[in-house]
Structure 1
Amino acid sequence: MVISFIHFLFLLFFGGLGAVQDECTDKRCRQDGPAIRSPFRLKDSHPDHCGYPGFDLSCTQNGDTVIELPLSVKASVKEIDYKFQLIHIYDLLGCLPQQIRNLNLSASPFQLQENYFNFTLINCSSAKSGLYELTPLPCLSGPGYQVYAIPSGYYLYWLPLFSCSKMYNILSVPYQIFDQKYDLQLHWSIPVCGKCESQGKYCRWKDNGSKHETECFKQHAAGASKRLKVTGVILGPSLLALTIIFTLYCVHISHKLKKEDEVKIEKFLEDYRALKPARYSYADVKKITSQFKDKLGQGGYGTVFKGKLSNDILVAVKVLNNSKGNGEEFINEVGIIGRIHHFNVVRLVGYCADGFKRALIYEFLPNDSLEKFTSVENCKNHSLGWEKLQDIALGIAKGIEYLHQGCDQRILHFDIKPSNILLDHNFDPKIADFGQAKLCSKEQSVVSMTVARGTKGYIAPEVFSRNFGNVSYKSDIYSFGMLLLEIVGGKKNIDVRAQNTSEVYFPEWIYNCLDQGEELGIQIEKEGDMKIVKKLTIVGLWCIQWYPVDRPSMKIVIQMLEGNGDTLSLPPNPFANSNPMTSSAINHGRSFLRELSVISEID
């Protein structure tokens, strides 16, 4: 009897594992359609436990993948980016400008990724040519009349239109909804599966019976699942009774989980509403911070306090100092970070603009900033292993790459440094403090600047002198390189100044050590750490080349950090000749980027 029971448990465990994984494997509506897996589920194909509430997809008769948004707004799905948690939708079924009036994403786990604007739809019997060329909306227009979308607030007499009447307003939508060829992007924050996907793994729910937490796992080979199925077929007749019992048990558990899901969905929607950037009064700020009771830190632009929203979400409240002329910083933070969402960029929960009193409310990150783990003094009391430091460096690089390439407009941060890299409960990095950031067009990469931006020690040479080149996104890459070298320098266990009575520049010292094959004198704890140290150092030295054209793009930096480092070569010595008037330094290392033209920054 005992042996039979153990045999049953063995088959139940391994057979059930194979069955569940087979049930939740990737599915597609057609061969070239997007792969559908957790947190999404395909209706009538995946069981309920394979997906997250609100992430149901379905197939049309033509094989299109369709998602249904709140209030019966349906859209075709072109692509799902599981790594960056984005879903690209297009060709909405029906007329989008008409359907969008009913769309309310507050009850959805998704957010529009693009910038938001207000539009007014007008119906005109005719139009005349003029300074503006307006394109009518085909799905709303008809014989003898045309329907146009114009930004709300425009005066009609500015436009070349007559015999027009207002239809209705469409609020808080990206302008791309009126372009049928453009893909809209929706972003989801919960559940967090992007980290698993970036590791080449899949995401699933933890079976802990408390709340929907995710974990990463590797998909089992198809051959193993097939062998389990064959075993089940052979032993199936003798286990029929046990299968029925097991099925009844699963039905009971499924019913229980559905009840729990209802409670969890309500909690999720409550939290989701709280995490959307919202405007607060100064009285609200005082209440959130308990009258500014718990001070976290202070900087040149203001003081940061720990706070709590009404639903127990912890936040960090940055109360700006109005004597520092912080109007531009406030506009930058709200206008830039308030509309972007990335795992490695800090999230803006809300803001306060109450007269002269201004504050910014961010998600609370409990492990302080990277500066705590990089300076020599702090490293004595706080230490992270080299593998984790490598993961942090890679996360920062991915965040910068998103700012440079992942948004409608390129975002240049101009103040990348350890104190502006915050760490969450898992020590995952998030880029913060966009007070000195600038926007520029994605078609052109360079900005003109009249005043140097950034922090001494991290500012690229071209920001001080145009003799080194134009200011561009390569300026952020220089700052990132200095950050990498500070990570390495904070772990050194020798005094580089002991060799000379004068101050020794650490980046130049470590370059000479690598170039001459000398010991780096860096603290290592286990085998393989020195390999990581050398990789971070070489990547950092590539990033701090004097001339922007000699620095790699962030995409190449990510590739170097993700590699094993064996193929990395030491860059040309950036300290051999820093005179911008010489030509020797200009002619080497031009393989990364062509010359860039100057454009004006977008305020």
Structure 2
Amino acid sequence: MLAARLLFAVTAVVFLALPRETCNAKGNHHCSPSSCGSIQNISYPFRLNSDPHNCGVPRYNSSCQNNLTVLNLKSGKYYVQAINYNNYTIRLVDAGVQKGNCSSIPQYSLSYYNFTSGDIAPYSLSSWTYNRSKNILFLNCSKPVNAHLYLHSSPCLDDAFSSNFWVPESKGYLYVKIGRTKASDLSDSCRIELMAMTSLLGKDEKNITFLDIHDELAYGFELSWSQVYCGDCRWWPRNLCIIDEANHVYCGWTPLVGTLVGMVIGTIAYLHLVAIICGTPCVTLFVVHKWRRRHLSMYDTVEEFLQSHNNLMPVRYSYSDVKKMTDGFRVKLGEGGYGYVYKGKLRSGRIAAIKMLSKSKADGQDFINEVATIGRIHHVNVVQLIGFCAKGSKRALVYDFMPNGSLDKYIFSPERCTTLSWKKTYEIAVGVAHGIEYLHRGCDMQILHFDIKPHNILLDENFIPKISDFGLAKLYAVDDSIVSLTAARGTMGYIAPELFYKNIGGVSYKADVYSFGMLLLEMIGRRKNLDPLAEHSSEIYFPFYVYGQIIEGNNVNEVGDATEEDKEMIKKMSIVALWCIQMKPSDRPSMSKVVEMLEGGLESLQVPPKPLLYPEERVGDQTNETESSSALSLVG
């Protein structure tokens, strides 16, 4: 053993004495350059479709269309504006942007997230490009915004509504905002329709106009492709590859750095001999130390994840900041399985709710879920994440304060002293539906919540609903119709049946539709859907009762002061809810259809089949007695 370790030490020193591999970045590739339009000298690693197969690298393939060099990346179609072989960058512009036509805007959303998800492979953002690039947000606001750097796009983007580039759901006030943006910087009335990038330094941002921004979009953005030359360095530590100022590629270290590193590693080799004398205990202690360091730095990894996966980074607070904001955690607003929520006050005077994740998962996954979802979006019906704290085991999430609390206290209040009007109840239902629809379709990634319930619907000072608690949420590609889950997630009574019964259909966004249907029924009945202490046996399982009342033409909820308009809203919500809780996911509507049904007329709605409790149930003539016994079986 001693001889083997001595051999290792000697080998390390000899290894350092070996010359470093170098090559000229422009040599060793003997193919005639190609050209397409204004892009001349297309050479290694780039190639056109028409080039011989032995030329260039297939990953850097492009095509020539109408004298334009076209790159088709996973994120979309882009035109090549320039290739710089001196600093290994390529400048691209979105195919939807036309120079001189300010109503032409990008066809594809592009942000820093794409560079961590593999959408832009094999290109990357070098540190130089990263610091130089700008985010450009296209915003659709329900009311005018008078704020710095909110640039009104009229009349340019007014024409975009009739084009194929961009058709928001509802035309509002169109703005463009530049620079990296925190969620707290966005106006409550605005939603992000599109994100783009540019590398042009341009004018002073204080004096910039929308036409200047369009010129920057037409200029494009630069990506790095230097790593293509590092393929021959795969045998070196961590694929180490350095390109010096003379455009030489070094596998390992440059000569000067190599000498210094050689001295360091030579010293380490000597110390290694000393470690042999100390024996296995020293090695064991070292391994334990490294293991502890790795676990103590877990939340540094969390922070890196947040920085690379969020386009709209929330504010980073220290733990001492959190203590000051909460006045030493003096006012507790509530608690749950995650920990406690405290009332806080930001430096600006803004009131906030601060959730301390004292009982969160050891790997911080629930913390990551929350920040990776609501930290990247902004919608009037989704709670706004202002900031977060991640310091060791101390994790906190800072939200907007919701003075009217959560929805459950209004629909489950035993004294009925805090009930809502039916009109307000209906407005809350529509708002929640819009929020879920946005999570499913309004982002560059599909966000499935998996825990829609009254406790997670918060109400602001105007009783506008905000979906909260994304600790169980999952991110998926927009085109993923079926997602994979290893275990059921959510709260009993709201969990979709396909999370238990795999034979009825795959898990998808329809799981949130089911949860919304159960939430809607509880809003209608002002009670839990399952109540074994109900006065009448037919009311034990509320969905059965609602279905029976609708079939018999009775009012679902007998309220003395309800107007005809109220009764129509209740019936509409009831029918929509029954559609949402159909057993098979394929029988449920999408959230877009749910919004359409809720906002449409009652006369256009058809009554769905009777909801089932179990997949093996068959729809048929069932007496109230059968329904009651089935409902009773749920509670044992």
Alignment TM class, shorter chain as reference: 0.5 to 0.7
Residue of 442, 445, 465 corresponding to 1:429: 465
Give the secondary structure class of the aligned counterpart of 2:333: strand
Q: Count how many residue pairs are aligned between Structure 1 and Structure 2.
A: 396
Give the corresponding residue for 1:569.
606
* Larger gyration radius, structure 1 or structure 2: 2
Alpha carbons of structure 1 residues 402 and 531: separation in structure 2 relative to 1, 3 Å: same
Give the corresponding residue for 2:546.
510
Aligned-partner Cα distance in 2 for 1:61–1:400: 31
Aligned-partner Cα distance in 1 for 2:388–2:195: 30
Give the corresponding residue for 2:388.
351
Residue of 276, 287, 291 corresponding to 2:328: 291
Aligned-partner Cα distance in 1 for 2:406–2:453: 10
Give the secondary structure class of the aligned counterpart of 2:535: helix
Question: Retained in 2: the 8 A contact 1:301–1:326?
Answer: no
The alignment status of 1:86 with 2:212, answered yes or no, reads: no
The alignment status of 1:383 with 2:485, answered yes or no, reads: no
Within 5 Å, give how 1:13-32 maps onto structure 2: none
Residue of 81, 89, 97 corresponding to 2:199: 97
Aligned-partner Cα distance in 2 for 1:556–1:63: 27
Alpha carbons of structure 1 residues 123 and 504: separation in structure 2 relative to 1, 3 Å: closer
Instruction: Give, as a single letter, the amino acid of the residue that structure 1 aligns with 2:201.
Output: Q
Give the corresponding residue for 1:402.
438
Give the corresponding residue for 2:345.
308
Alpha carbons of structure 1 residues 82 and 565: separation in structure 2 relative to 1, 3 Å: farther
Give the corresponding residue for 1:271.
none
Instruction: Give, as a single letter, the amino acid of the residue that structure 2 aligns with 1:385.
Output: S
Range with bigger deviation, 324-333 or 426-435 = 324-333
Question: Retained in 1: the 8 A contact 2:103–2:156?
Answer: no
Residue of 575, 578, 583 corresponding to 1:541: 578
Question: Retained in 1: the 8 A contact 2:139–2:175?
Answer: no
Aligned-partner Cα distance in 1 for 2:502–2:331: 44
Instruction: Give, as a single letter, the amino acid of the residue that structure 2 aligns with 1:497.
Output: A
Residue of 530, 535, 545 corresponding to 2:567: 530
Instruction: Give, as a single letter, the amino acid of the residue that structure 1 aligns with 2:517.
Output: G
Note the C-alpha offset of 1:284: 1.2
Note the C-alpha offset of 1:504: 1.8
Aligned-partner Cα distance in 2 for 1:88–1:340: 12
Alpha carbons of structure 1 residues 409 and 386: separation in structure 2 relative to 1, 3 Å: same
Give the secondary structure class of the aligned counterpart of 2:548: helix
Give the secondary structure class of the aligned counterpart of 1:444: coil
Give the secondary structure class of the aligned counterpart of 1:383: coil
Alpha carbons of structure 1 residues 437 and 103: separation in structure 2 relative to 1, 3 Å: farther
Note the C-alpha offset of 1:309: 0.7
Question: Retained in 2: the 8 A contact 1:350–1:360?
Answer: yes
Aligned-partner Cα distance in 1 for 2:605–2:248: 67
Give the corresponding residue for 1:461.
497
Residues 129-188 of structure 1, C-alpha deviations (whole Å, 9 max, x = no match): 979xxxxxxxxxxxxxxxxxxxxxx966499xx8469xxxxx999999xxxxxxxx999x
Alpha carbons of structure 1 residues 435 and 326: separation in structure 2 relative to 1, 3 Å: farther
- Unaligned runs of at least 5 residues, structure 2: 1-99, 106-137, 161-173, 181-186, 211-220, 233-237, 251-303, 621-636
Alpha carbons of structure 1 residues 563 and 525: separation in structure 2 relative to 1, 3 Å: same
Aligned-partner Cα distance in 1 for 2:558–2:508: 33
The alignment status of 1:333 with 2:353, answered yes or no, reads: no
Instruction: Give, as a single letter, the amino acid of the residue that structure 2 aligns with 1:85.
Output: R
Alpha carbons of structure 1 residues 426 and 326: separation in structure 2 relative to 1, 3 Å: farther
Residue of 580, 587, 591 corresponding to 2:615: 580
Aligned-partner Cα distance in 1 for 2:441–2:347: 36
- Unaligned runs of at least 5 residues, structure 1: 1-28, 42-49, 74-80, 109-118, 132-153, 166-170, 177-184, 188-275, 586-603
Aligned-partner Cα distance in 2 for 1:158–1:580: 61
TM-score of the superposition, structure 2-length normalised? 0.54
Question: Retained in 2: the 8 A contact 1:399–1:430?
Answer: yes
Alpha carbons of structure 1 residues 99 and 174: separation in structure 2 relative to 1, 3 Å: farther
Give the secondary structure class of the aligned counterpart of 2:409: helix
Aligned-partner Cα distance in 1 for 2:402–2:592: 27
Instruction: Give, as a single letter, the amino acid of the residue that structure 2 aligns with 1:390.
Output: Y
Aligned-partner Cα distance in 2 for 1:67–1:483: 35
Alpha carbons of structure 1 residues 164 and 70: separation in structure 2 relative to 1, 3 Å: farther
Question: Retained in 1: the 8 A contact 2:484–2:507?
Answer: yes
Note the C-alpha offset of 1:439: 1.2
Give the secondary structure class of the aligned counterpart of 2:508: coil
Note the C-alpha offset of 1:495: 11
Give the corresponding residue for 1:280.
317
Alpha carbons of structure 1 residues 100 and 508: separation in structure 2 relative to 1, 3 Å: farther
Aligned-partner Cα distance in 1 for 2:199–2:223: 9
Alpha carbons of structure 1 residues 355 and 55: separation in structure 2 relative to 1, 3 Å: closer
Aligned-partner Cα distance in 2 for 1:353–1:39: 34
Note the C-alpha offset of 1:325: 3.7
Note the C-alpha offset of 1:57: 4.3
Give the corresponding residue for 1:248.
none
Question: Retained in 1: the 8 A contact 2:140–2:191?
Answer: no
Note the C-alpha offset of 1:63: 11
Question: Retained in 2: the 8 A contact 1:446–1:470?
Answer: yes
Note the C-alpha offset of 1:499: 3.2
Give the corresponding residue for 1:215.
none
Instruction: Give, as a single letter, the amino acid of the residue that structure 1 aligns with 2:396.
Output: A
Question: Retained in 2: the 8 A contact 1:38–1:52?
Answer: no
Aligned-partner Cα distance in 1 for 2:334–2:321: 20
Give the secondary structure class of the aligned counterpart of 1:511: helix
Question: Retained in 1: the 8 A contact 2:579–2:589?
Answer: yes
Residue of 372, 384, 403 corresponding to 1:366: 403
Give the corresponding residue for 1:485.
521
Aligned-partner Cα distance in 1 for 2:159–2:539: 65
Alpha carbons of structure 1 residues 534 and 304: separation in structure 2 relative to 1, 3 Å: same
Give the corresponding residue for 1:149.
none
Aligned-partner Cα distance in 1 for 2:522–2:380: 23
Give the corresponding residue for 1:114.
none
Tell me the percent identity.
Answer: 44
Aligned-partner Cα distance in 2 for 1:444–1:59: 36
Question: Retained in 2: the 8 A contact 1:40–1:57?
Answer: no
Give the secondary structure class of the aligned counterpart of 1:286: helix
Alpha carbons of structure 1 residues 67 and 469: separation in structure 2 relative to 1, 3 Å: closer
Question: Retained in 2: the 8 A contact 1:480–1:540?
Answer: yes
Aligned-partner Cα distance in 2 for 1:397–1:340: 16
Give the secondary structure class of the aligned counterpart of 2:461: coil
Aligned-partner Cα distance in 2 for 1:287–1:558: 42
Alpha carbons of structure 1 residues 464 and 284: separation in structure 2 relative to 1, 3 Å: same
Give the secondary structure class of the aligned counterpart of 2:380: coil
Give the corresponding residue for 1:449.
485
Aligned-partner Cα distance in 1 for 2:306–2:371: 17
Within 5 Å, give how 1:187-226 maps onto structure 2: none
Alpha carbons of structure 1 residues 60 and 292: separation in structure 2 relative to 1, 3 Å: closer
Give the secondary structure class of the aligned counterpart of 2:367: helix
Instruction: Give, as a single letter, the amino acid of the residue that structure 2 aligns with 1:327.
Output: G
Note the C-alpha offset of 1:83: 7.8
Alpha carbons of structure 1 residues 61 and 331: separation in structure 2 relative to 1, 3 Å: closer
TM-score of the superposition, structure 1-length normalised? 0.56
Question: Retained in 2: the 8 A contact 1:387–1:529?
Answer: yes
Question: Retained in 1: the 8 A contact 2:139–2:191?
Answer: no
Alpha carbons of structure 1 residues 158 and 478: separation in structure 2 relative to 1, 3 Å: farther
Aligned-partner Cα distance in 2 for 1:545–1:491: 20
